[in-house]
Structure 1
Amino acid sequence: MNAKLDESEDGAQVAADDLAAREAAYEKFVWDNLKRNYLGNYLHGMLGMTGFRLVNAPTFLPAYLLAVSGSNVVVGLGLALQQLGGVISPIFGATKVEHRTKVMPAAIWMGSLGRLAILGMALSGWFLSGQPLVYALLFFILMFGVFMGAQRVVFSLLMSKVIPISRRGRLQAWRNATGGLIAAVLAWVAGKYFIGPNLFGNGYSTTFVFAFLLTSAGLWALQLLLKEPEPPTTRPQARFRDRLREFPELIAQDRAYGFFLVVQMLATSARIATPFYILYVGKVVGADGATLGLLTFAFLGADTVSNLVWGYMGDKVGFRAVLIVSLAGWVGATVMLLNLHTPGPIFAAFALLGASLSGYMMASQTMILEFGSRDDLPMRIAVSATAESITATAGPLVGGLMAEAFGYDVVFMSSLGFLAAAFAILVLAVRDPRRGTAG
């Protein structure tokens, strides 16, 4: 009997030693290849973020949808469809990669399909008009949301595998800052020289082609440079519906993560007003192509500069603090737009909005990587992405209906209510996952 116990203990010790050796080899691989992987992630983020910001900025796409449809409801519907695409696809993406030792092939497929959706928007503007153009744009916006939702899981997982936690903030700071600088300049150029004179017959299509080319270049750089390690452990492959059933347990394992999800959903609900900021400006002071370019420049330029602050601040004091400051700035920008209707304050409000939203995005996406175990990371990212997308789906559509019926002021006040609730829960109930503290 004692011999069997000794054999069992020996076997457990061997397994533990083997796991420790694999963990050490994994850690060594990460640091040995850090410069190469850092450069790959930097180029991918810089070029990719540049193109995606031109599509996701609350200026060009809402203005384009309003121009071709003449309806606030269609603007809201378009943004709602983009978010709807991201409801289920993150979970699908997680189930496809969480059992794999290498996820780069899936990242290339999902990233490529998302970029083709942007190209579809561009081509639709050149070859279609009237209602067919509206339908085509809505379809490609939906597809963009689907593939971006899946891509978010895979690329976040890739970054967590190859970039140590102490380097993630500064990586995001520099890639977002340089990408934002390019995007800000390109936004001004697009507004003045593409959209204003309707370059090549459709200035918006020309802008989206530039976005497609930049994002594709970033994906090629990542594919060429990144060296991906094989993790010491992975989850066994599971069916999609089985993983859905495990969601409550995954959330219940960490009370702070559960409250963090609530904060994400409330903050995402606050984006009910985002597509209507530029439309509100157009109503109160007017917004031609040059104004669109200038305000997009303010939005993306502030995003560029603030990323350096957010990244280093997150590395030094944790991303919970970044989240608190960015939510407060978001409130301030909305209040400014509601009350100050001259060009200077409006420019400043869009700048503050760009800085705040960039801080929120960096903090929320990075904090997810710091809760819980590594093996559950793909699904944890997917749960957060899905939670955000559920609330973001209804938000713009409801916002469009509210704007049509009651005006933009009511939409903005609703956004402020969601932000206030998110701020309160974040301060009172969400601990810093690095330090185990709240409040």
Structure 2
Amino acid sequence: MQNPKTDTADRLYNLIANEEDARVCTDIPDEACREVPRNFFLILGSNVLTKLGDLLISPKTVLAWLLSAIGAPALVAWLVPIRESGSMVPQMVIGAWVRRKPVRKWFWTLGSFGQSASVLAMAASVWFLEGYAAGWGVLGALVLFSLARGFCSISMKDVQGKCIPKKRRGRLAGLASTIGGSATVVLTVVLFWDRGEPGVLFYTLLLLLAAGLWIVAGLLFASVDEYEGETGGGGNALREAVKSLSLLRDDALFRHFVITRALLLCSALASPYFVVLAQKNTDNGWLLGVFLLASSLASSVSASVWGWMADTSSRKVMIRGGAMASGVCLIVGITAVVAGTDLGSVWFYPGAFFVLSIAHAGVRLGRKTYLVDMAGGNKRTDYTAVSNTVIGCLLLLTGGLTALVSMVSNVAVILVLGLMGLAGMLSALRLQEVTAD
């Protein structure tokens, strides 16, 4: 007799995936194919919960406000570099360790628990310390958070590649972003409806809530039925990590992908400068909430569309996302040069930010799906580790360069990033198709 929960999962999965093609599981074994519906929803639930957690500790919004509120505003500049690069740079070493294990879901589970513990450390720093002591406590916990996230990033693509068939990975990522984005819209309205300045108790409870979300996500992911896969790299992890850099020299397709991904960083780097220009034109306290809503709405309305498109061609998703990101940056930059940064409309920059967020969702989902589809077996882990490590280093370098350009003007940064995105789109046009069978 079939388990009612399994039967429900099968029916829901058939509705979402439109499972009519019996050959959809051609790239995963039969035993893994039987568990796809249940694994689909376990991975989906884990992703949605972590996306909500990311909103609650967003370095661009919540943590920036928090450091200012506790009297450590000078530390705000370190939040985004630590959050993004801290999880990417060590990934070649992490990847060399992870690929030795035939079952890798436990790395994601432990990484999720590690992120929860780090957020609890942030809450303790805020509650028990003051001023810069609390600020340094938050930054130290963020370093640990980013390292734990590196384990999740490395293992997620591999587990997903083994448990979800190629033609369903894009819609899994898209559905997770849509549900997570919709939930964040509601959460943003609930949390930031009051325009007054939140107190320390509010931030502490916010961090505790986020920590709880990562614990539940880790428990869900631990329930995924993952079959044993290829192993390798039995030697020293650091030596194996350095050895894996040869992929950039020997694998032309992978090298081209990394270059394209680096150029498309414009979709992530330009967002704060839209906010900065908007803040110069108005001091309305609700404007930050508008940007939060714009980001959440962009994810909820576009991610599933991007996901379905990525199942047909993840390359074309990167092209379209790059074109949108480049276009909106160039339009905003040129408009600001011609008409001045004070455009007389408070909605211009949030509207542009909304379009940029849609573009970034496409770029992010397209390059993730492309990487998973590009490689199989142990190569998937190596590709993820090398790509993320290189991009993490380039992110720090690009961040430093944009900081220097911003000394000239914020508009100059947006124009430079727009041209960078244009180059990324042209590079994606020359990428090889990997999604089609």
TM-score w.r.t. the length of structure 1 is: 0.84
Structure 1 segment 335-374 matched on structure 2, within 5 A? 335=330, 337-338=332-333, 339=335, 342-374=345-377
Higher RCO (Cα < 8 Å, 6 or more apart): 1
Cα 1:341–1:160 change in 2 (3 A) is farther
Please report how far the alpha carbon of residue 336 of structure 1 lies from its aligned counterpart in structure 2 after TM superposition.
Answer: 5.4
Which of the numbers 418, 421, 433 marks the counterpart of 2:420? Answer: 418
**2:28, 2:162 within 8 Å by CA — same for their partners in 1?**
no
- Distance across 2 between alignment mates of 1:103 and 1:121: 28
Distance in 1 of aligned mates of 2:330 and 2:234? 48
2:7 is matched with which residue?
Answer: none
8 A Cα contact 2:60 2:272, kept in partner: yes
**Residue of structure 2 equivalent to 1:147:** 148
Q: What is the identity, as a one-letter code, of the residue corresponding to 2:225?
A: K
1:309 matches 2:305: yes
Structure 1: distance between partners of 2:398 and 2:119: 22
Counterpart of 2:165? 164
* Pairwise CA distance, 1:270: 6.0
Contact 1:270 1:414 (8 Å CA) reproduced: no
Residue 55 of structure 1 is matched in structure 2 by 57
SS in 2 for 1:198: coil
1:320 CA displacement: 0.7
Distance 1:341 1:204, change over 3 A: farther
When residues 287 and 267 of structure 1 are mapped into structure 2, their CA distance, relative to the original with a 3 A threshold, is farther
- What amino acid is aligned across from residue 376 of structure 1 in structure 2? K
Greater mean deviation of Cα atoms: 361-370 or 115-124: 115-124
| Residue of structure 2 equivalent to 1:430 | 431
2:258–2:387 Cα contact (<8 Å) kept: yes
Aligned equivalents of 1:344, 1:26: Cα separation in 2:
48
Instruction: Give 1:64-75 correspondences, 5 Å limit.
Output: 64-65=66-67, 68-71=71-74, 74-75=75-76
**1:396/1:25 CA distance change after superposition, 3 Å:** closer
Tell me: CA distance 1:69–1:24, structure 2 relative to 1, closer, same or farther (3 Å).
closer
Show the counterpart of 2:107.
Answer: 106
Q: Which residue of 2 aligns with 1:326?
A: 321
Alignment of 1:14-29 (within 5 A): 27-29=29-31
Separation in 2 of the partners of 1:184 and 1:416? 28
Question: Which letter maps to 1:186?
Answer: L
CA distance in 1, matches of 2:209, 2:288: 17
Report how far residue 287 of structure 1 moved: 4.7
Q: 1: distance between equivalents of 2:397 and 2:207?
A: 25
Give the corresponding residue for 1:376.
379
Looking at structure 2, the residues matched to 112 and 264 of structure 1 have their Cα atoms a distance apart, in angstroms, of 29
Mean alpha-carbon deviation: is it higher for 363-372 or for 268-277?
A: 268-277
Partner Cα distance (1:120, 1:341) in 2: 43
Whichever residue aligns with residue 30 of structure 2, its letter is K
Output the aligned Cα RMSD. 2.7
Stretches of structure 2 that go unaligned for 5 or more consecutive residues are 1-24, 336-342
CA deviation map 1:277-301 (0-9, x unaligned): 323322222252x322222011111
Partner of 1:280: 277
Task: State the partner residue of 1:294.
Answer: 290
- The question of whether the paired residues in 1 share the 8 Å contact of 2:299 and 2:357 is answered with yes
Q: How far has the Cα of 1:150 moved from its partner? A: 2.4
Contact 1:90 1:151 in 2 (8 A): no
Unpaired runs of at least 5, structure 1: 1-22
If you compute each CA radius of gyration, which structure gives the higher value, 1 or 2?
1
Cα 1:216–1:202 shift into 2, 3 Å: same
Task: Look up the equivalent residue of 1:422 and give its one-letter code.
Answer: G
Distance in 2 (CA, whole Å) between partners of 1:25 and 1:184 is 36
Query: What are the superposed Cα offsets for residues 295-315 of structure 1, whole Å, 9 maximum, x if unpaired?
Result: 201111111110111011111
Alpha-carbon distance, 1:432 to partner? 1.6
**Structure number with higher helix proportion:** 1
Structure 1 CA distance, aligned partners of 2:53 and 2:393? 25
Report the counterpart of residue 410 of structure 2 in structure 1: 408
Q: Structure 1's 140 and 350: CA in aligned 2 closer, same or farther, altered over 3 A?
A: same
- Residues 383, 153 of structure 1: alpha-carbon distance in 2 compared, 3 angstrom cutoff: same
**Matches of 2:232 and 2:112, distance apart in 1:** 24
Q: Deviation digits for residues 199-225 of structure 1, max 9, x if unmatched? A: 5x35444433333222332222222x3
1:226 corresponds to: 224
TM-score normalized by the length of structure 2: 0.84
Q: Is the 8 A contact 2:125 2:137 kept in 1?
A: yes
Structure-2 separation of matches of 1:279 and 1:188 = 22
Secondary structure of 2:357's counterpart equals helix
CA distance in 2, matches of 1:395, 1:85: 15
Q: Name the counterpart of 1:211.
A: 210
Aligned residues: 404
Aligned mates of 1:417, 1:128 — CA distance in 2: 44
| Secondary structure class of the residue paired with 2:425 | helix
Q: Secondary structure at the match of 1:406?
A: coil
> Which amino acid is 2:367 matched to?
S
Residue type of the alignment partner of 1:45: N
Kept in 2, the 8 Å contact 1:26–1:230? The answer is no
Identity %: 20
